[in-house]
A and B are shown apart, each in its own frame.
Chain A
Amino acid sequence: MKSHARLAAAFLKQEERAHWHDQALWYVREKRDRMAASVPDWEALRETAQAIKRHALANLPRYLEEFEQNAAARGAIVHYALDAAEHNRIVLEILKRRDARLVAKSKSMLSEECGLNEFLERNGVEVVETDLAERIIQLAGERPSHIVLPSIHIRKEEVGAIFHEHLGTERGESDPTRLTRAARTHLREKFLAAEAGISGVNFAVAETGAVVICTNEGNADLGNSLPDLYIAVMGVEKVIPKSRDLGVFLRLLSRSATGQPISAYTSHLLGPRPGQEMHIVIVDNGRSEILQRERFYKAAFCIRCGACLNTCPVYRRSGGHSYNYVIPGPIGTILAMHRDLKKYKDMPYASTLCGSCTAVCPVKIDIHRQIVLWRNEVVEAGHLGRAKSAALKTATLGMKRTRLFRMGGWTVRKLLRSLPSFVFNNRLTIWGRSRDLPKMPAQSFRAEYRAHSKSKTNLSESGLNREGRS
């Protein structure tokens, strides 16, 4: 597996494309800023959202049971899955029992996390992603590069080529409206033919047993109402206590995600439609472990809005695929580390720690602080790498003793001042590859300051500086 640094460097080789990617996401970030500013008590709303999450997740068993009872009372069949494998197995069993071979699926990051599509395909079930961007990705044989805008890395001309190949649109067609129409016709056939619908869940309301789904395309609504079998899959952390809590989260979610006041469709599913069978699969897959970790539990508060990706200067300039984990960017980093510290060890280092992620997060997860804490976990587990560890150890030794520090600084300054600049400003040094080193001064601050203080004392002793201050 290539490191983030290498994958990012490869991404940046196509400079014009990298700028386009950065700008497309910055546009979303700016929309988000404008929308956030339209809510005067925005910061208080974030605070409230965090308080609700904290309360709900601290009382998770109670709210899950309440949700389960209320959903069951409305006719849904509720299942619990400990991990991804169990989740996949349960979904497959439900489909098999009804002999469903074609599934119309709506976007779900949980199913990405569990690898549901691949699993179902391996077991003879055709899964059609019905969110437009997800369908593009699926046809292209890729994985999402963003949790809300999964095909943000693909340009409209490329979508045209993919659709030409798979949907038979005209060669060279890149008009978004015409391409969308073609996708709509194609998806309509799938919706009508599908034997089951699967979707993710944005919020599960304990008080009512409602499953709340937010989309812009209405695809989830077709998927959960047309087929006679519908399966909603959700992580345990999606449960919120009351309907009124939606008044907090729905105001935050779309504004943070795409800079819209609210998603085009916000559907509240209270049980199956007449004649339909509805299942809800509630998955843990490591979430309760996250909640038990003192320094990291807030990562489980995430409502998957993607705002931290859009604002991240590194994400925008390295692309979602450079992170290796299914969820990229800042939030992906602090979730991936719970999965496999060693495998994803370079993810926490793919950050400047600028803190913008924390500042946009609608549930106020301390993302950048967790990132630096994860760096410490990587170091403690011995995964930093020998060269980096040695360099930092040496620096520490030098800095612990003031004399060594002074001598070290003197040597470096002397050396850099006497060498011609091409020696260090070249491709072989990491700093010097694209940046010049600072020009080295003749002496340190402490030396200059000593001389300065001395001359001041001399001045005042000779009476020339009687006023003391100028």
Chain B
Amino acid sequence: MSLGRVGLFIPCYIDQVYPRVGMATVRLLEKLGVSFEFPEDQTCCGQPQFNSGCFKDAAKLAGKMLRIFKDYDWVVCPSGSCTGMVREYYELLLERDKESDDFKHLVSHTFELCEFLIDILKVETIDGSFPHKVGLHQSCHGLRGLGLGVPSEQVLPGRIGKVRRLLESLRGIEIVTTGRSDECCGFGGTFSVFEGTVSSFIGRDRIKDYEQAGAEVIVSYDVSCLMHLDGLIRRDKKPLKVLHIAEVVDGAVS
């Protein structure tokens, strides 16, 4: 099928601090034969402001996002959290645009990378190998907001998470079983600074759980959570690594 115009939405911190995640996304999409554009004018979706309660500030950035991406048929983003921001919360920020076709289109056509692969490109399995013990970190906004996984507190028998399905198709991969399957890592955006002590405490608990389960690498679709966890891992000089799922899949596919 023809996808039309695909716009790549790269979150601000990936652009500025984790270009390797952005580039892995680029290479992966290229390998899958998706042609896309990266609109250079983009900056940030406004989540830090929104998350802190500064809706007016966030609305300015949301408006900018709408202007930049409204003409794309699909918007793809390697972050569950930033995708969730657009899909779930823009309606609270862009009240005046809420009923417009542009707005409705953007909100219904913005996809996190894994869901774009599965739901739109209909990728069922990945032909590649990743012979490592992986701790799958199901970041909250993607897990509950976008339904990328099956939250452990919900009763949804028979469902398997999308991200898990993708990862499990890789040869040699072992997704370890942790004590708590999807507890928050404690990052929480500006929470990580406003409540730094609690944030770090929760993060260390998460890391210990992955460690005890025998994980070599923690994989997530949100590098913001990973930035927090990696900061703790490096401070404590632990051997664990963190990788964004785009890096894993791109690296696994030849």
A residues near B (Cβ < 8 Å) are 4-5, 8-9, 12, 18-19, 22, 26, 29, 32-33, 36-37, 39-40, 42-43, 311, 313-314, 317-318, 348-356, 358-360, 372-379, 384, 388-389, 392-393, 395-396, 399-402, 405, 409, 412-413, 425, 430-431, 433-438, 440-441, 443-449, 452, 469-470
Known A317-B201, A378-B53; contact A449-B196, beta-carbon cutoff 8 A: no
Q: Which residues of A contact B151 (CB under 8 A)?
A: 356, 359
B51 at the interface (CB under 8 A from A): yes
Known A33-B152, A354-B188; contact A452-B144, beta-carbon cutoff 8 A: no
For the complex, give the distance between the alpha carbons of A436 and B223 in Å.
Answer: 15
Q: Is B180 touching A26 in the complex (CB atoms < 8 A)? A: yes
Q: Is B15 touching A352 in the complex (CB atoms < 8 A)? A: no
Q: Which of B37-45, B111-119, B163-171 lies at the interface?
A: B37-45
Q: Is A42 touching B155 in the complex (CB atoms < 8 A)? A: yes
Query: Would you give the 0/1 interface string for B52-80, flagging 1 where the beta carbon is closer than 8 Å to chain A?
Result: 11110110110010000000000000000
Q: Is A12 touching B196 in the complex (CB atoms < 8 A)? A: no
Q: Is A5 touching B195 in the complex (CB atoms < 8 A)? A: yes
For the complex, give the distance between the alpha carbons of A431 and B155 in Å.
Answer: 37
Q: Which residues of B contact A360 (CB under 8 A)?
A: 153
Q: How large is the interface on B (under 10, 10 to 19, 20 to 34, 35 or more residues)?
A: 35 or more
* Smallest CB gap from B235: residue in A: A436
B243 at the interface (CB under 8 A from A): no
Among candidates A8, A395, A425, A441, residue contacting B198 with C-beta atoms closer than 8 Å: A8
Q: Is B200 touching A434 in the complex (CB atoms < 8 A)? A: yes
Q: Which of B99-107, B211-219, B224-232 lies at the interface?
A: B224-232
For the complex, give the distance between the alpha carbons of A401 and B53 in Å.
Answer: 21
Among candidates A374, A378, A405, A434, residue contacting B43 with C-beta atoms closer than 8 Å: A405
Q: Which residues of A contact B194 (CB under 8 A)?
A: 5, 349, 388
**New contact pairs (19) apart from A5-B198, A40-B157, A445-B15, CB-CB < 8 Å:** A5-B196, A8-B198, A37-B155, A43-B155, A313-B184, A351-B191, A353-B141, A359-B144, A374-B53, A396-B57, A399-B44, A399-B46, A402-B43, A409-B17, A431-B231, A435-B231, A436-B235, A437-B231, A452-B23
For the complex, give the distance between the alpha carbons of A425 and B237 in Å.
Answer: 14
Q: Which residues of B contact A5 (CB under 8 A)?
A: 194-198
Q: Is B57 touching A393 in the complex (CB atoms < 8 A)? A: yes
- Of A29, A33, A40, A446, most buried by chain B (CB within 10 Å of CB) is A446
Among candidates B10, B55, B192, residue contacting A431 with C-beta atoms closer than 8 Å: B192
B residues near A (Cβ < 8 Å) are 10, 12, 14-23, 26, 30-31, 33, 38, 40-44, 46, 48-55, 57-58, 60-61, 64, 89, 92, 140-141, 144-145, 151-157, 180, 183-184, 186-203, 205, 227-228, 230-232, 234-235
For the complex, give the distance between the alpha carbons of A8 and B197 in Å.
Answer: 8
* Smallest CB gap from B154: residue in A: A359
For the complex, give the distance between the alpha carbons of A374 and B53 in Å.
Answer: 7
For the complex, give the distance between the alpha carbons of A400 and B151 in Å.
Answer: 35
Q: Is A434 touching B155 in the complex (CB atoms < 8 A)? A: no
Q: Is A376 touching B53 in the complex (CB atoms < 8 A)? A: yes
Among candidates B33, B52, B140, B234, residue contacting A354 with C-beta atoms closer than 8 Å: B140
For the complex, give the distance between the alpha carbons of A379 and B58 in Å.
Answer: 12
For the complex, give the distance between the alpha carbons of A468 and B12 in Å.
Answer: 29
For the complex, give the distance between the alpha carbons of A412 and B12 in Å.
Answer: 13
Q: Is B154 touching A43 in the complex (CB atoms < 8 A)? A: yes
Q: Is B231 touching A438 in the complex (CB atoms < 8 A)? A: yes
Q: Is A402 touching B41 in the complex (CB atoms < 8 A)? A: yes
For the complex, give the distance between the alpha carbons of A348 and B54 in Å.
Answer: 13
Min CB–CB distance A57 → chain B (angstroms): 24
For the complex, give the distance between the alpha carbons of A352 and B187 in Å.
Answer: 7
Known A22-B205, A469-B30; contact A399-B186, beta-carbon cutoff 8 A: no
Q: Is B19 touching A448 in the complex (CB atoms < 8 A)? A: yes
For the complex, give the distance between the alpha carbons of A393 and B54 in Å.
Answer: 9
For the complex, give the distance between the alpha carbons of A272 and B180 in Å.
Answer: 48
Q: Which residues of A contact B141 (CB under 8 A)?
A: 353, 355
Among candidates A19, A33, A375, A447, residue contacting B52 with C-beta atoms closer than 8 Å: A375
Q: Is B144 touching A372 in the complex (CB atoms < 8 A)? A: no
For the complex, give the distance between the alpha carbons of A371 and B184 in Å.
Answer: 17
Min CB–CB distance A7 → chain B (angstroms): 10
* Smallest CB gap from A416: residue in B: B17
Q: Which residues of B contact A26 (CB under 8 A)?
A: 180
Min CB–CB distance B137 → chain A (angstroms): 12
Q: Is A434 touching B196 in the complex (CB atoms < 8 A)? A: yes
Q: Is A356 touching B18 in the complex (CB atoms < 8 A)? A: no
* Smallest CB gap from B205: residue in A: A22
Q: Which residues of B contact A425 (CB under 8 A)?
A: 235
For the complex, give the distance between the alpha carbons of A470 and B29 in Å.
Answer: 11
Q: Which residues of A contact B198 (CB under 8 A)?
A: 5, 8-9, 12, 314, 317-318, 350
Q: Is A352 touching B140 in the complex (CB atoms < 8 A)? A: yes
* Smallest CB gap from B182: residue in A: A356
Min CB–CB distance A445 → chain B (angstroms): 4
For the complex, give the distance between the alpha carbons of A379 and B53 in Å.
Answer: 6
Q: Which residues of B contact A448 (CB under 8 A)?
A: 19, 22-23
Min CB–CB distance B148 → chain A (angstroms): 13
5 nearest A-B pairs in the assembled complex, by CB-CB distance? A375-B53, A352-B188, A435-B231, A445-B22, A409-B16
- Of A42, A353, A433, most buried by chain B (CB within 10 Å of CB) is A353
Q: Which residues of B contact A399 (CB under 8 A)?
A: 12, 43-44, 46, 61
Q: Is A356 touching B192 in the complex (CB atoms < 8 A)? A: no
Q: Is B140 touching A379 in the complex (CB atoms < 8 A)? A: no
Q: Which residues of B contact A375 (CB under 8 A)?
A: 51-53
* Smallest CB gap from A412: residue in B: B16
